[in-house]
Amino acid sequence: MVIAGGFSGALAGLLLASIVTNQIWLAIDAAFAAVFIALVVQQIIVRPRVRLHFPRELYFLHVVVATLIGGLAGHELAIDLKDPPASPLIGATSGLLASVLISCFLITASYRRNGQAHN
């Protein structure tokens, strides 16, 4: 999920660079694309083995939080790495951080759900 998120964030940053002129919005858009791709990869790889049933509101909340935190933190990290940052760098850092966050959210929710089932 993390590798797919980082790669898709860089690709989204590259593709959206000519459309989105504001770097912060570019970072948030790239983070959203990375979260979406990470969730698709999670469905393809994990879904056949593990059944994760979460309310849609929980998925939506996780996507929003991971997108905003990953996008804003990725933008700041890209600026620290290179000033002015290239759009693929902004997208890659935002996508990487957002996909790590969504992965952590899903692991935590799965652990809590499975832990409560055994108690």
User: Can you tell me whether residue 111 is helix, strand or coil?
Assistant: helix
User: Can you tell me whether residue 54 is helix, strand or coil?
Assistant: coil
Q: What is the pTM of this model?
A: 0.86
Q: What is the pLDDT of residue 15?
A: 94
Measured from the Cβ of residue 113, the count of other Cβ atoms closer than 10 Å reads 13
Asked if 14 contacts 68 with a C-beta cutoff of 8 angstroms, the reply is no
Asked if 71 contacts 98 with a C-beta cutoff of 8 angstroms, the reply is yes
Q: What is the pLDDT of residue 69?
A: 96
Q: Is 22 left (phi over 0), alpha (psi -120 to 50) or beta?
A: beta
Q: What is the pLDDT of residue 115?
A: 63
Consecutive 10-residue runs of the chain (119 residues): their mean pLDDT?
92 92 93 93 75 75 94 93 88 95 85 60
Q: What is the pLDDT of residue 76?
A: 93
* Residue extents of the structural domains in the chain: 2-118
Measured from the Cβ of residue 18, the count of other Cβ atoms closer than 10 Å reads 8
Task: Give one DSSP letter per residue of 18-49, joined into a string.
Answer: TT---HHHHHHHHHHHHHHHHHHHHHHHTTTT
